[in-house]
Amino acid sequence: MTVKKISLEQILKALQAVSPTVHGPVENVFADHIADPKKTTATTLDWVNSIKTNKQEIAEGTPAKVILADAEVVYSDAMKAAGKTIITVPNPKMAFSLVANAFFVEKEEAGIHPTAVIHPEAEIGADVHIGPYVHIGKAKIGKGTVISAFVRIYDKVTIGKNCFFKEGAVIGGAGFGYEKDSEGNRFRFPQIGGVIIGNSVEVGGNTCIDRGALSDTVIGDHTKIDNLCHISHNVDLGKNVMVIACSEISGSCVLGDDVWVGPNTSIRDHRKVGAGALLGMGSVVVKDVPADEVWTGNPAKLLNR
């Protein structure tokens, strides 16, 4: 990674939405990297987690000169003697993430790899990255989206702005829907719907999101889906939903905003999970889950806390 010398002015500009307050030196103040706490140096951009009980001790003990902390950390004589600059913000972890993503995280360059195969009627927005061996059908890809190697995006898929797809994801493939003929043999129910994905959605490696049968599969803004997950046809995920690794959501399920789906969770078809609900690791959900409740187990039940 190229070393970048980021000034205090640049840091504060990145944090202007959270109204930072500066304590200590402001001249010639900079950071040039981020690091694990055990590898922090004088030029590391450091932060103090608000959940720590020894925040003052951490802020005074770190060798870093530029530190993000909440208002409970006091600018002490020890900090002054060490020439430290404390940037006070409501949520140091969020503030650190904003600055780190803006300056210290390598981003994929916009462009289309020569091995990618793209339908001539596909609509590709500005500043999109399309990696090696990607295959895109007659789809719409929003501005700033990153599509990593070997991703397959079928026809009738609409993807919003600033999304991220990791290697091997399959978006818009036919759903697993069948009927029986007069002799009891399975045959495919029509799978002619699409997939609508909102803005700032992330989809993990080798995750599959099936197209709808007769309508669409919908993924809301800011939803994050981990590696090796399966989202079946006609599923409707709200905003800011978290689906953790190896989970499976069966057909026509509806999950409200801010639902958290723990690792290895399975949700039966046509279930509804209310906004803000949390499904524990390995849950098998066979009933509707009310909003803001915690369910876990097999079969999943309300966790009495």
Catalytic residues: 233
Burial track 177-210 (b if 16+ CB lie within 10 A, e otherwise): beeeeeeeeeeeeebebbbbbbbbbbbbbebbbb
Distance CA 193, CA 189 (A): 12
CB 237 within 8 A of CB 255: yes
Query: What is the total residue count of the chain?
Result: 305
DSSP string, 22-79: EES--TT-EE-B---GGG--TTBEEE--TT-S-HHHHHHH---SEEEE-TTS---HHH
Is the C-alpha dihedral spanning 54, 59, 61, 63 positive or negative? positive
On the CB side of 63, how many CA atoms lie within 13 Å of its CA? 11
Non-local (6+) Cβ contacts of 156 within 8 A are 137, 138, 139, 172, 193, 194, 195, 211
Is the C-alpha dihedral spanning 260, 264, 265, 266 positive or negative? positive
Phi, psi angles (nearest 5°) of residue 17? -70, -20
Q: Are strands 284-285 and 266-267 parallel, antiparallel or unpaired?
A: parallel
Distance CA 282, CA 297 (A): 7
